[in-house]
Every structure is written in C-alpha cells, then in structure tokens.
Amino acid sequence: MKAQVRGRVEYLPTYAAMQAFTAERTGATPDELWLCEHSPVFTQGLAGRAEHVLDPGPIPVIPTNRGGQVTYHGPGQVVAYPLVDLQRAGYYVKEYVYRIEEAAIRTLLHFGVTGHRVAGAPGIYVRLADPSSHEMLPPAPERDAERFGGLGKIAALGIKVSRHCTYHGIALNVDMDLQPFERIHPCGYAGLKTVDLSTIGVSTTWNEAAGVLGQKLVALLASREQ
C-alpha cells in the first residue's frame, strides 16, 4: 500500500475520486491510502437521520454512501481513506474495522494518549479527566449519556465496501474548531462530546499526525501474507 499525502482537498471531488478508483480498479491495482484535510463539511451516512443535524448554518450537509450517521470534517483533522482490496488482503470487514481502529489507537499512543473502543459505537474515545490512563473502561450501560460519561470522541469511522474493496475511512481530530460538532448529534449520539489532540494537551502539527497515522495504517492493513 502506498500512502499519498493529499493535504487540503474539497470533500465532494475526493468522494467522487474514491468511487471512481474503486469502480475502475482490477485485481492487480495496488492499494492506496489517501491522507486528506477538508474544508468545513457535514457528511451524512446511510444510517443518518435528519434530526441529528441540529443547525448546520453555512456548512454544507452532504449525503454519502458510507456506513454510520452524521459527522463533521474540517481544517485541523486528518482524514484517512484506505482503498484496500480485502479479498486480496485476506481478511474480512470486521477485522478491517478493527485494524483501522487499532491504527488510530497506536497513533494516539505515539502522542502519549490512550484510545478506547466503546462497544457498539465505532470510533475511538479518550478519558477526558486523564487521557493517558490505561485503565479499562467499565461495561457500557445502555443509555448513551451514561455510555459516554467522562469520554470524548477523538476519531470517527465510516466505511463502504464495494466488490470487496474499501473506501471512506477514519478521521482523527488534531487541532480544529470543534464548535461545528455542537451543531449535530455526532455519529447520532445526543450530547456526545468531541475532542481533539489540542484540547487534551497534545501539541502537534497536521503533517506530523498524518505521518504517524499513515505509517500505522500502512503497517496494520498489510495482507496476511506480508
């Protein structure tokens, strides 16, 4: 897999390019990883509901064919799009999602932060009171307000698989304006707090974070035969 740092690109042309790449690829097409930063945009997944978009204001809301619900992309966020042939790689979608989340967890660890998974809520979360804590999360209650008590979401996940090939991906919040997340129910969860590396005390650049995340994704998404 080859990582491409594409930098600041608009969302819609990138979405179209991912679809075209996936539709045109053959069994011999090498996998790619696109590392991007987008202008402000809300994207709505296939499971998204209109009531989760509270007040978009001037920020466009774009329907997509990825899984999940509504999220926000904006400057200061690393958006990684792995374009992987899962059939050739030798693992299934569930493991693919695990590997992507693991790449985000290992990226956070590089910066001294412990990332956590929450059962039934894809993405990566951190303890707001102690972002470096390795303590396991307690079993998640059913009610969302309790499920996310003391947690902030730092990475959102949404994927699409077509003919065994993936697109869309994961977004890691680095140093961004978080106010737009208050205009939605992030990923469909009312009251879910969203954070970035900056707000939990980590000072880094977009380029550095993109480089680390890219390295982790390339290593973890390699085929079983490599």
- Domain with residue 207: its CATH number is 3.30.930.10
- Whether residue 164 contacts residue 206, with contact meaning beta carbons closer than 8 Å, is answered with no
Q: Residue 50 domain-assigned?
A: yes
Number of domains in the chain: 1
Residue 11: inside a domain: yes
- Domain assignment present for 68: yes
In a domain, 77, yes or no: yes
Whether residue 144 is predicted with pLDDT greater than 90 in this model: the reply is no
How high is the pLDDT of residue 224?
66
Give the per-residue pLDDT at 134: 80
Q: What is the structure's pLDDT at 18?
A: 97
Q: Secondary structure of 137-173 in the HEC alphabet?
A: CCCCCCCHHHHCCCEEEEEEEEEEEECCEEEEEEEEE
Q: What is the pTM of this model?
A: 0.93
Confidence check: pLDDT of 35 > 70: yes
Tell me which of 135 and 115 has the higher pLDDT: 115
Residue 93 falls inside a structural domain: yes
Active site members? 187
pLDDT bucket at 30, cuts 50 / 70 / 90: very high
* 226, pLDDT greater than 60: no
67 domain-assigned: yes
Contact between 150 and 128 (Cβ < 8 Å):
yes
Whole-number pLDDT of residue 140: 62
Q: Is the pLDDT of residue 156 over 90?
A: yes
What is the per-residue pLDDT across 171-180, written as a single tens digit (0 to 9) for each? 999 999 999 9
71 within a domain of the structure (yes/no): yes
57 vs 107: CA distance, rounded Å: 33
Residue 73 falls within a domain, yes or no? Answer: yes
Domain that holds residue 201: 2-114+154-220
Average pLDDT over residues 125-150: 75
